[in-house]
Amino acid sequence: MTVNDLEAAAASTVDEAVLACDLLDELMMGGMAACFSRVEPRRQARKYVTGLISNLPRKNCWALAKQAGDSTPDKMQRLLERAAWDAAAAMAAVSEFAFAHLGDRADAVLVIDESGQGKTGEHTAGVKRQYLGCAGRVANGINVVYASYAAPAGHAVIAARLYMPKEGR
The pTM of the whole model exceeds 0.85 = no
Domain spans of the chain? 1-85, 105-169
Please give the Cα distance from 71 to 73 (Å, whole number): 7
Nearest partner of 54 among 41, 43, 68, judged by Cα? 68
Condensed to tens digits (0 to 9), the pLDDT of residues 54-104 reads: 888 988 999 999 999 999 999 999 999 999 888 889 889 888 888 888 887
- pLDDT at res. 6: 56
**pLDDT(10) > 60:** no
Please give the Cα distance from 44 to 80 (Å, whole number): 10
